[in-house]
Structure 1
Amino acid sequence: MYEEMIALLIIVCIIVWTVVLIKYLHENKKYKNSSYGKQSSKSFWKTISNQGARGEYRTSLVIDDAPLKDKMIFNCYIPNRNGDKTEIDMIMLCNKGIYVIENKNYSGWIFGDEKSKNWCETLKGKKYFFYNPIKQNKSHIKNLEKMLKVGDEKYISLITFNANANLKKVSTESQNVYVIGYNKLKQFMKDQLDKSDVLTDEQIEEIYQKLLPGTQLSDAEKQEHIERIRKTYKK
């Protein structure tokens, strides 16, 4: 009886691990075929093991499924006004415009408006503050326009939050500024089809080629950027 139970347990473990392996291989293949996976130097495992990268990847999957002819740029480093570099999470280029996407991985209730310096995350009874992502993205767009010179009206500022965030009280005022929760992102992307075209296919390709080198920094250059940001926030 004991030997039969051990044998059954082994069979169950083999079945479970086989299912897990098949699922992992399927997700790994999906990752490699995604716009994020094709451009990222990170493996599937490293991406899903990192909270920030995992959130960006999941957001990119929704965008990949959108009925828009687009080109995606991920983790793009561009010059800023201080002569250093700033990193932009995602940029979607399509006929409808240049979508500058700041992806946030927060949980709990989110409170904020366009003018406040900081926003608030309320989680398990505690409050945590973070820099206003609309202001952050506005700075990204200014730096992008200085580089691309295509016209301010062609940019859409899109702040996305992961599935664990509840946008409890968030407001925007400016045109082409949006704050979207993960569960509403799919519909938002569909709605963009109703907008007029502002970029031609040739312009999209030209912008893409200008930005692509910014995604190809070495690990040392990326680490230098991280250390510079840490020092800035310590001041």
Structure 2
Amino acid sequence: MKLLGVKSFQSIPQNKSVKTKSYAQENQEYYESIIKSNSFNFNDRFNICPNKSDLGDYGEFLTFKEIVRWSSNYSYNYKILRNLNIGTHCEIDLVWIHETGIYVFESKNISGLICGNENSNQWHQTLNNRLKKQLYNPIFQNNGHINALKRILGNNYFYCSIIVFSERCVLDEIPSNTHSRIITKRNYLKSKLTEKITSEQSKLSIAQIEALYRKLLPYTYASQDIKQKHSDYINKKYGNKDNNDDDVDLPF
């Protein structure tokens, strides 16, 4: 799923009286249309994707959907980009450019018991009382994503790391949230966003949001060669990312 820019509404003749849509309303309608046209919607009632090879993409879609649904209750200005490839070593799940800052999402659509501390290179996933596998510290991972964005956009913005786990997991002995970091399960994402956004002041104008969006938009058009090189890099460094066997607790 590729997120494109919101198309500008055609200019309205002066003699017609119409109610102009706000920037936020235009964005809301555009992103809602993406949700409605996405094939993953068919599986929403299961809150899981039947094809285990699509678990990661499905988790990203659900996170994207939560953000758009949350935004419908507010009139904030924002833009969303998904799947940004910065070089071959950095693939960012989702970036939400909001009037209060730049929010960088890392989605972990896995189940089991998840534990890890702030400074450990590896966290652990345990399922059915047995160690299933290790996962690279998502704090380190998303900090790397934010640093990549800073090299493009600069340091003069508020960046917040948001790591979203599946509803099917249990988060145990993980680091606490901070001003610039949230670790949560997806079913708590809306409440965490409400708590975070309402505590922040607006920092970005519509023009700034648009400029940042346009600067990042080219990174969503990665070639298949770049995507393959990124996949090869991840597989070599962390193991086969495509061999996702997190289907022990699936209903099918």
Gaps of 5+ in 1: 1-30, 38-42
Name the CA shift for 1:201/1:36 in 2 (closer, same or farther; >3 Å): farther
1:140 to 142, 145, 163: 145
Name the CA shift for 1:92/1:218 in 2 (closer, same or farther; >3 Å): same
Show the counterpart of 1:119.
123
Mapped to 2, the partners of 1:232 and 1:113 lie a distance apart of 21
Show the counterpart of 2:228.
223
Show the counterpart of 1:199.
204
Show the counterpart of 2:246.
none
Cα shift readout 1:68-108 (whole Å, capped 9, x = no counterpart): 432111010114xxxx4410001000011100110001101
Cα shift readout 1:187-226 (whole Å, capped 9, x = no counterpart): 1122212311222221111110111111112333312321
Q: Given residue 77 of structure 1, which amino acid in structure 2 is its aligned partner?
A: N
Show the counterpart of 2:68.
64
Name the CA shift for 1:92/1:229 in 2 (closer, same or farther; >3 Å): same
Mapped to 1, the partners of 2:59 and 2:177 lie a distance apart of 26
Cα shift readout 1:43-91 (whole Å, capped 9, x = no counterpart): 6269954100111111111100123432111010114xxxx44100010
Q: Given residue 215 of structure 2, which amino acid in structure 1 is its aligned partner?
A: K
Percent of residue pairs identical: 32
Q: Structure 2-normalised TM-score?
A: 0.70
Note if contact 1:114-1:173 (Cα within 8 Å) is conserved in structure 2: no
Gaps of 5+ in 2: 1-30, 44-48, 240-252
Bigger proportion of residues as strand: 1
Note if contact 1:95-1:200 (Cα within 8 Å) is conserved in structure 2: yes
Mapped to 1, the partners of 2:200 and 2:183 lie a distance apart of 18
Note if contact 2:32-2:68 (Cα within 8 Å) is conserved in structure 1: no
1:44 to 39, 44, 51: 39
Mapped to 2, the partners of 1:187 and 1:229 lie a distance apart of 32
Mapped to 2, the partners of 1:229 and 1:175 lie a distance apart of 29
Q: Which has the higher contact order (CA 8 A, sep 6+)?
A: 2
Show the counterpart of 1:129.
134
Correspondence list, 1:82-161, <5 A: 84-127=88-131, 128-151=133-156, 154-161=158-165
Mapped to 2, the partners of 1:95 and 1:114 lie a distance apart of 29
Q: How large is the Cα RMSD of the aligned pairs?
A: 2.5
User: Structure 1 residue 231: deviation in Å?
Assistant: 2.6
> Are residues 1:208 and 2:233 paired?
no
> Are residues 1:175 and 2:179 paired?
yes
Show the counterpart of 1:14.
none
2:189 to 185, 191, 206: 185
1:53 to 50, 53, 57: 57
Q: Structure 1-normalised TM-score?
A: 0.75
Bigger proportion of residues as helix: 1
Name the CA shift for 1:194/1:45 in 2 (closer, same or farther; >3 Å): closer
Note if contact 2:96-2:103 (Cα within 8 Å) is conserved in structure 1: yes
Equivalences, count: 195
Q: Given residue 147 of structure 1, which amino acid in structure 2 is its aligned partner?
A: I
